Homo-oligomer: A and B are copies of this chain.
Amino acid sequence: MGVEERRQQLIGVALDLFSRRSPDEVSIDEIASAAGISRPLVYHYFPGKLSLYEAALKRASEDLASRFEEPHEGPLGARLLRVMRRFFDFVDDHGPGFSALMRGGPAVPADGVGSKEHTSATNALIDSVRQAAYDQILSHLNVTDASPRLELVIRTWISLAESTALIWLDGRRIPRSDLERQLVHDFAALAAVSAAYDPDMAALVRAMVEDEPADGPFAELAGRLITLAS
């Protein structure tokens, strides 16, 4: 294997291990063994567990960011539902690693390297994924210059998706398909609350709902809420 090929293989093996258990519990020996190489050879490619963790996290971040990309075709509710399915696929695949990273600050594998630099590197990756999600949603709303209220709705909804996923991972007590749909509805609900007091948000929500089919998730929610209220 070439140097870059070997590095990529190691990152893949490490990501798989860091995803399936808390990164603190994964050792270099285990990574070496899973990759079928010796421990010194791992150190030949990566100075230590921390740099391997950061490389794996970078790959996972790019993967997650790519899952927010969705063709600009068809009703908005259905697009968002597809994105939520891919988001939960990711969370499902990377559960323990995702929890360790998002809970209580980034997981810091002890490595003798300055943890402050590590913390800011991992936070920058997390923020880059959030920004990718934010940019995608804005583009699907056909908005280039978001008002403070729209920005708030989108960014707080992204944090809602994160916390929903984290709580789901803790015991999986609610079917994930329910939560994928619920998050689509939560987006509509948060936008509607903002729209109730702001004419610009009201115009945006009207445009958002206008093209929705009668069997789409937004219409379904509206129908159920009307039933609930009566």
Pair A116/B120 contact, Cβ less than 8 Å: no
Q: Chain B nearest CB: distance from A9 CB in Å?
A: 30
If A104-B119, A190-B186, A193-B182 touch, whether A149 touches B174 (CB-CB below 8 Å) is yes
Pair B193/A221 contact, Cβ less than 8 Å: yes
A192 at the interface (CB under 8 A from B): yes
Pair A225/B192 contact, Cβ less than 8 Å: yes
A156 at the interface (CB under 8 A from B): yes
Pair B197/A178 contact, Cβ less than 8 Å: yes
* Interface bits A164-202 vs B (CB < 8 Å: 1, else 0): 100110010110001101100110011011111100001
Can you give 20 contacting A-B residue pairs, CB < 8 Å? A105-B123, A115-B115, A148-B171, A148-B174, A152-B167, A152-B179, A155-B163, A159-B159, A159-B160, A159-B162, A182-B197, A189-B190, A189-B192, A189-B193, A192-B225, A195-B228, A197-B224, A205-B228, A206-B228, A222-B229
Q: Say which size band chain A's interface belongs to.
A: 35 or more
Q: A193-B221, A202-B228 are in contact. List 15 more A-B contacts (CB 8 A).
A: A103-B123, A108-B115, A115-B116, A148-B174, A151-B167, A159-B162, A160-B160, A182-B197, A185-B193, A192-B225, A195-B228, A196-B225, A197-B224, A205-B228, A206-B228
Pair A164/B156 contact, Cβ less than 8 Å: yes
Instruction: Indicate which residue in B149, B163, B221 contacts A156 across the interface (CB closer than 8 Å).
Output: B163
Q: Chain B nearest CB: distance from A191 CB in Å?
A: 10
Contacts of A77 in B (CB 8 A): none
Smallest CB-CB separation from A164: which chain B residue? B156
Question: How far apart sit A186 and B156, CA to CA, in the bound complex (Å)?
Answer: 11
Question: How far apart sit A162 and B163, CA to CA, in the bound complex (Å)?
Answer: 11
Pair B185/A196 contact, Cβ less than 8 Å: yes
* Interface bits A201-230 vs B (CB < 8 Å: 1, else 0): 010011000000000000001101100110
If A119-B104, A189-B193 touch, whether A174 touches B159 (CB-CB below 8 Å) is no
